[in-house]
């Protein structure tokens, strides 16, 4: 009787114990099961073990189990023991003759082999990889950046700023940003040189976990560098983008120079430099234009970065016109000194380059601002290519909203991404084809829509939505603004977001 009661007690305890969580890792052995599994998945990380779990690094399987649970709906993790699944591993050519590797971690995309996993065996790296397996390895995994403090989330930044007592230079960047890629090695070298004195940190603002930071510091371009003391922004960085310049600036941080100081530094002295460009004023402008059968005139401002970048090419082109006896004149007007002249020719941005023939203005120059292009143009002046069609005139799956259609459209759409843009904006032009592709991918989904608003035409709509830079992409649900879209500006990023926007809403709430 006593033993019977003990048995009942054991059964009761077992039945009362919580069930073990279901494994997220899919274990495969048969080739048929593999084919069925891999054909129905778009994003799979597979661990192949040559001799079972004993051949896998300690701790890797538990990490992969966590990854599998966290990426459900986005990807899958599988495990293959090649000691028992010999036929499958042979078919997949895992561990050929002479190979001594104990395990292989391989990624499969859209049913086919994509690449071997090539990052660190830690949870954050594996998770980042599964979220975007086509991207490059994160900066934090570059051994040369070991002295840069890498911040992974908005919460992490708040803690870092509260704890760190040394002065901080923080670089906000995006993985796709070319200027960021050029700056990273210089920044990392400065971090090593200043180790123990000042802290140089980096933060990727192109992912949902950091979107609150992007909003808080109003980061609209990359790279953006801010200098902190005692956890608060003191100055934006205003030095050069090389190691020595960063070290020099940090030895005596200063606020950026005023516009007047920049103008003085740049100097309105292009006209006094030794070059072959003809410098025009209101006194000689018309006489020079009338006397030349072919004249290219650049209206510039001394402080304008694009003007300064173009100047060496323009000078060299003027020199070549003279040395090669090419008919024509390259001229320049300082629009800040000759305001009436600039106003007469409706100059609203710098540089503005206009072509004149025998005293008459014909058209604006619309080609690259390089020595070769200037010279080729002057050899055979031609009007620029026809202006591209307005985006709203091109038939795509993107809905173009106006003052009349904006509110009715937004109120009836469950999940909408709205791009507020300007036609001249370079970042908008780069995002446009990706936005169009995403709209095409989601055309059968009646709950989602991608829309666009031209802020040069419908400024009131943009003002109502607090648009301060282009492009600004907002997620809306039935007319209520939820938050700015801060993900990758590519088709996959837009589509992934709209298929599960609630996931990003929860991330924003968690970070807040």
The pLDDT tens digits for 286-304 are: 999 999 999 999 999 998 8
Q: Indicate if 428 belongs to the active site.
A: yes
Burial 204-243 (b: 16+ CB within 10 A, else e): bbbbbbbbbbbeebebeebbbbbbbeeeeeebebebeebb
Instruction: Report if residue 11 sits inside a domain.
Output: no
Confidence at residue 167, expressed as pLDDT on a 0 to 100 scale: 97
CA-based radius of gyration for the chain = 30
Tell me whether residue 19 is in a domain. no
> Where would I find the beta strands (DSSP E) of 178-328?
199-204, 224-229, 232-236, 278-280, 295-300
Give the SS3 label for residue 162.
helix
From the candidates 82, 177, 180, 304, give the one annotated as an active-site residue: 304
**Residues in Cβ contact with 387 at an 8 Å cutoff, skipping those fewer than 6 apart:** none
Give domain status of residue 210, yes or no: yes
Does 305 map to a domain? yes
Q: Are 204 and 302 part of one and the same domain?
A: no
Domain-ending residue, one of 84, 113, 135: 135
Identify the domain boundary among 379, 407, 442. Answer: 379
pLDDT given at position 136: 80
Residues 436 and 498 grouped into a single domain: yes
Same domain assignment for residues 150 and 217: yes
Coil, strand or helix: which one is 454?
Answer: strand
From 320, 353, 379, the end of a domain falls on 379
468 and 491 both lie in a single domain: yes
Q: Are residues 145 and 131 in the same domain?
A: no
Residue 128 lies in a domain: yes
- CATH code for the domain of 433: 3.40.30.10
Q: Which two tokens stand for residue 401?
A: 């909203």
Question: Are residues 367 and 405 located together in one domain of the fold?
Answer: no
Decide if 385 is inside a domain.
Answer: no
Q: Does 448 share its domain with 495?
A: yes
Is the domain of 488 the same as that of 418? yes
pLDDT at 54: 86
- Residue of 95, 99, 79, 152 lying closest to 122 (CA atoms): 152
What is the CB neighbour count within 10 angstroms for residue 46?
25
Residues 427 and 329 in one domain: no
Q: Where are the beta strands (DSSP E) in 327-425?
A: 329-334, 352-357, 360-364, 399-400, 415-421
**Same domain flag for 471 and 416:** yes
Half-sphere exposure of 157 (CA within 13 A, CB side): 27
- Decide: 43 and 109 in contact? Cβ < 8 Å: yes
Confirm whether 4 is domain-assigned.
Answer: no
Q: How many domains does the chain have?
A: 4
89 is annotated as an active-site residue: no
pLDDT < 70 regions, the chain: 1-22, 96-99, 258-268, 387, 481-482, 503-512
**CB atoms closer than 10 angstroms to residue 340:** 7
Which of 180, 307, 455, 462 is the catalytic position?
A: 307
Same domain, 185 and 290: no
- Of 89, 180, 428, 455, catalytic: 428
**Nearest to residue 164, comparing CAs of 194, 198, 187, 137?**
198
Regarding whether 315 and 224 lie in a shared domain, the answer is: no
193: containing domain: 140-251
């Amino acid at each position: 009787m006593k033993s019977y009661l003990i048995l009942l007690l054991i059964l009761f305890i077992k039945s009362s114990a919580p069930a073990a969580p279901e494994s997220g890792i899919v274990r495969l052995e048969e080739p048929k099961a593999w084919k069925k599994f891999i054909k129905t998945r778009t994003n799979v990380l597979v661990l192949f073990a040559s001799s079972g779990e004993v051949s896998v690094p300690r701790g890797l399987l538990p990490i992969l189990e966590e990854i599998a649970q966290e990426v459900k709906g986005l990807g899958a993790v599988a495990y293959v023991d090649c000691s028992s699944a010999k036929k499958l591993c042979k078919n997949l050519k895992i561990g050929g003759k002479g190979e001594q590797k104990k395990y292989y971690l391989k990624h499969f995309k859209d049913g086919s082999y994509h690449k071997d996993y090539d990052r660190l065996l830690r949870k954050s790296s594996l998770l980042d990889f599964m979220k975007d397996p086509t991207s490059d390895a994160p900066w934090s995994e570059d051994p040369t950046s070991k002295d840069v403090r890498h911040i992974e989330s908005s919460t992490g930044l708040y803690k870092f700023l509260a704890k760190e007592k040394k002065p901080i230079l923080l670089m906000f960047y995006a993985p796709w940003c070319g200027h960021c890629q050029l700056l990273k090695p210089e920044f990392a070298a400065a971090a090593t040189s200043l180790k123990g004195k000042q802290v140089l940190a980096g933060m990727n603002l192109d992912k949902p976990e950091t979107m609150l930071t992007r909003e808080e510091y109003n980061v609209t371009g990359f790279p953006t560098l801010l200098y902190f003391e005692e956890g608060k922004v003191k100055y934006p960085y205003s030095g050069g983008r090389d190691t020595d310049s960063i070290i020099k600036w940090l030895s005596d941080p200063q606020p950026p120079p005023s516009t007047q100081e920049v103008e003085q530094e740049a100097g309105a002295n292009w006209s006094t430099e030794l070059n072959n460009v003809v410098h025009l004023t209101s006194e000689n402008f018309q006489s020079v234009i009338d006397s030349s059968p072919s004249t290219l005139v650049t209206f510039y401002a001394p402080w304008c970065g694009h003007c300064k970048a173009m100047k060496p090419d323009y000078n060299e082109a003027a020199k070549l016109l003279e040395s090669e006896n090419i008919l024509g004149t390259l001229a320049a007007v300082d629009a800040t000194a000759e305001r009436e002249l600039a106003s007469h020719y409706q100059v609203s941005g710098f540089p503005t380059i206009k072509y004149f023939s025998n005293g008459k203005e014909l058209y604006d120059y619309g080609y690259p601002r390089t020595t070769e292009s200037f010279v080729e143009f002057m050899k055979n002046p031609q009007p620029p290519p026809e202006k591209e069609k307005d985006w709203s005139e091109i038939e795509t799956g993107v809905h173009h909203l106006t003052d009349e259609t904006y509110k009715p459209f937004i109120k009836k759409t469950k999940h909408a991404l709205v791009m507020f843009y300007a036609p001249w904006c370079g970042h908008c032009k780069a995002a446009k084809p990706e936005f169009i592709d995403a709209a095409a991918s989601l055309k059968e989904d009646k709950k989602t829509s991608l829309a666009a608003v031209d802020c040069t035409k419908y400024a009131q709509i943009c003002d109502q939505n607090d648009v301060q830079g282009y492009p600004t992409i907002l997620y809306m649900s039935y007319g209520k603004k939820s938050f700015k879209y801060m993900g990758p500006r590519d088709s996959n990023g837009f589509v992934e977001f709209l298929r599960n926007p609630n996931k990003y809403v929860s991330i924003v709430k968690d970070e807040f």
